[in-house]
Structure 1
Amino acid sequence: MRVDLFDFALPSDRIALRPASPRDAARLLRVGAGGALADHEVRDLPALLRAGDVLVFNDTRVIPAQLEGRRGEARIGATLHKREGPRAWRAFIRNAKRLREGDRIEFGAGVAAVASERSADGAFLLTFAGEEPVELLLERAGRMPLPPYIAGRREADARDRDDYQTMFAREEGAVAAPTAALHFTPALMAALAEAGIGRETLTLHVGAGTFLPVKAEDTADHVMHAEWGRIHPATADRLNAARAAGGRLIAVGTTSLRLLESAADAAGLIRPFEGDTAIFITPGYRFRAIDGLLTNFHLPRSTLFMLVSALMGLEAMQGAYAHAIEQGYRFYSYGDASLLLPGG
């Protein structure tokens, strides 16, 4: 499909620079079968879902994955993308023309790495010096990796250490937050449990590739970056049992959805999973594992807007986004949410 089919105009003042407070006070646009729309708040979820439904969260934890350093006199910026070993990370480099394989980058605070193995997309492999766990090095020298559309308008600060982390964050390794889950609070989770709505977690370490624009003119020519994920056998069993009993599986975020779809077989059974996925979902895809999606509002021409258009239909999502813009919904990582239920 042509990528320009997924374009739309978004006023810059619709881009949220801070999350709603409290988090579950964010607005929620329900999109049902045929593009039917209804305005709510995230805290209304217990009334919008059914007993027996299961929300599936991503428990990845964002690490301080942005680094600023020097190679000699040259300033070098690095955004870690994907772990490749105990001390090695694939990274996107700013000012990459000043960096060559074998160069050492000094990031300050006693943190340094050697660059090697530049890939076709321009990413380098960074191998960190020393014996301390890389996570400790990043705590000293790294910053939270805010998305470019926020970082370009303000600096990351101490608030982002909490704001850009979900209440489910446990498994360290993401360089971007699974932002749909930012809306959840302990109070909301208690209300959902009281309403008979279940919860499960999986792990997908979101990579920096999620922020990369689609430069191809046709979706067939776009290459997704791989991300590592895991679904435990017991989790897969419980999800399959809930669906067999008539419950709906509602993915919280596109990261959860993509891993569930990667793990599902042709019959729709979710299998245990551990490894990389580079699944790219566009209109025409047949969903096997999920019955709905809670997600934020995405960038024009992005793989994520393509995904939601595959779930609900392009025309329905164009209408939903036009409504959200007109009604003042806040967009992107710190913005409001949509609940997409193709079955009504």
Structure 2
Amino acid sequence: MKVAVLGAGAWGTALAGHLATRHDAVLWARDRALVESLSTSHENERYLRGVTLPASLRYDADLASALGHAAAEDALCVVATPVAGLRALCRSMRDIGIVPAHIVWLCKGFEADTQCLPNEVVAAELPDHASSGTLSGPSFAREVGQGLPVALTVASASAVLGERTVAAFHHGAMRIYTGDDVIGVEVGGAVKNVLAIATGISDGLGLGLNARAALITRGLAEMSRLGVALGGRAETFTGLTGLGDLILTATGDLSRNRTVGMQLASGRTLTEILAALGHVAEGVRCARAVLALAQSRNIEMPITHAVCRVLFEDVTPRNAVQALLSRDAKAE
């Protein structure tokens, strides 16, 4: 199969490497210097240092060329940009005049200024595109790049898109499950990042494993309430893209969002943390959007609210935790 992966961050690079072991894969990056480096070293030293990519993987800095590679009916286009870049990429497809027949995106989060989920962004920019969906689940790019086992879910209203995504990715150590609850999968992928910041704060303050378990469990309740209100199905949040992704992101040492929380607990400022991180931490980008959506629907999300207070209102992590602990008792 011809597959184009658009976006050479850590996740896009790892998945392109996996695809190239079986398919005719091209990895697109807008940075020509990065493309030249990848072509020479077969390693993404910027985002996935130490992982050697297959010699068969090809690289391209020309978006039209990469889109053309994935334009055929039997091909697949994998969009690996962050949520913040998704709308611009869809518009570029329209402007160039090449919209691949089958598109699956990897980004997790809400668009900050519109509060849109990725599927809503794609629907707005490519309104006539039927074969599209999201690929999500508990996954660290480094482990996938190393060939370690991982299970993901592709969610789409199009059975054809699901079949094509399975055909592309389901081999080696990667398992792909299918579903049609796009909203539920995307809400889980977005909210878990905010909750991972909360868990990182708790762990960074040394509050113990009891507190971590409570945050994950009550965080899952927050995620489910919002997801169902937005049109997702409750059972989705107990699966790979809900509970599974939440556990990984909240407890794994490779989690950027957990790292943000732990660094906040140590007293560092958000500006310092993000500058040192060098990667996108989607929980920071979409926390305000998650809280605004919850408040507009009168949905209680106290953990999310506490994270936003620490991130954007100069509330100290300890004071935010104390505010959570002082809430009135209620039925579970």
Structure 1 length-normalised TM: 0.28
More strand by share: 1
Q: With a CA cutoff of 8 Å and minimum separation of 6, indicate the structure with the bigger relative contact order.
A: 1
